[in-house]
Amino acid sequence: MAAEPTTPTPILRRGYFTDGIAGDIKAASLEFFGTATFIMLGLGGIQAGSISDGSLVEKRMYWAASMGLSLLVSAWLFYRITGGLFNPNVSLALWLVGVIKPVRFVLYCIAQLAGAIAGSALVRALTPEPYNVNVSLPDGISKSQGVFIEMFITAALILAVLMLAAEKHEATPFAPLGIGLTLFAGHLFALAYTGAAMNTARAFGPAVVTGFPKSDHWVYWLGPFLGSLLGVAVYTFLKHYHYWTINPGQTAIQPQLSPADPVDTLRATLNMTDENGVRRSGSITEKRSSIDRRGPSASIDKRRLNDSAV
């Protein structure tokens, strides 16, 4: 008896590679525009803040807010289109955890570096002041310190992307808000020490426009690269040990899962013993259990409230 023909797998289906690559090129093209938008807004704010009156601390707050808000806005605009990555180190992390495929990863990295160059060139062409947006290590900071600072702040950004955007839960639509705030916090820490690139494309764009004026540019490739690996390692650890089981229901919206009324809890505790010190029944736990026995519609399966669908 002849064997029945098998259905071809999707990867062998006619036109798969053509359609897949076409989609990747389209996504990368839009990622180019998203990255250019982010870099133009962020570096434009840094350029404007550098000529404003105020103390150095005030200027650094201005720069940090400019980069954080620029990422927040740009990522929210492009979040449903390309994912709003704008960062080769984020692309690396998403490829390592399997969110994007190798071809899209390569095309995204090219688009992000090119978009950073375009955004940086726009800022230089549109502003009359001396170009003041390159990142470099100041005096007193060694190259090894710069690498590790960039590694840790990039790892924080990577973890924010993975936990807020890659992991699907009720707060996922608001992921750009948390990711932008993470970039802002990283700048508050590292602006004084490394310039807080947290993104190889952000360092690469201005360096290309100005002809690589600093010899420590490699720091902004190695540090964020290691940060991607560290962020993925932490995420992998959390995922492997089922982080959502440690404190389940954190993203639940059902009022029934809220804590009991403290007054009722206190009363139940006081009523557990009578005047002779004999323990009584009828604790708050039993009362809540009786509510849960009203029927299947009244009970809530906490397993459905996990932060992950895995």
State the pLDDT confidence band at 279, using cuts at 50, 70 and 90: low
State the pLDDT confidence band at 278, using cuts at 50, 70 and 90: low
Over residues 159-202, the pLDDT tens digits come to 999 999 999 988 899 999 999 999 999 999 999 999 999 999 99
Shared domain for 176 and 230, answered yes or no, is: yes
Shared domain for 88 and 183, answered yes or no, is: yes
Shared domain for 53 and 188, answered yes or no, is: yes
Shared domain for 230 and 158, answered yes or no, is: yes
Q: Are 152 and 70 in contact (CB under 8 A)?
A: no
Residues 6 or more apart whose CB falls under 8 angstroms from that of 93 comprise: 158, 161, 162, 228, 231, 232, 235
Shared domain for 235 and 271, answered yes or no, is: no
How much is the pTM? Answer: 0.81
Q: Average pLDDT, stretch 247-269?
A: 86
Which pLDDT score is estimated for 303? 42
**10 in a domain, yes or no?**
no
Mean pLDDT of the chain: 86
**Which domain CATH number covers 27?**
1.20.1080.10
Q: Is the pLDDT of residue 307 over 70?
A: no
**249 in a domain, yes or no?**
no
The amino acid that residue 300 corresponds to is: I
Domain coverage including residue 289: 255-305
Shared domain for 136 and 80, answered yes or no, is: yes
Domain total in the chain: 2
Over residues 122-153, the pLDDT tens digits come to 999 999 999 999 999 999 999 999 999 999 99
Which pLDDT score is estimated for 298? 42
Q: Is the pLDDT of residue 280 over 50?
A: yes
Minimal CA–CA distance to 286: which of 302, 305, 264, 303?
Answer: 264
Shared domain for 27 and 106, answered yes or no, is: yes
Shared domain for 182 and 45, answered yes or no, is: yes
**237 in a domain, yes or no?**
yes
Shared domain for 289 and 192, answered yes or no, is: no
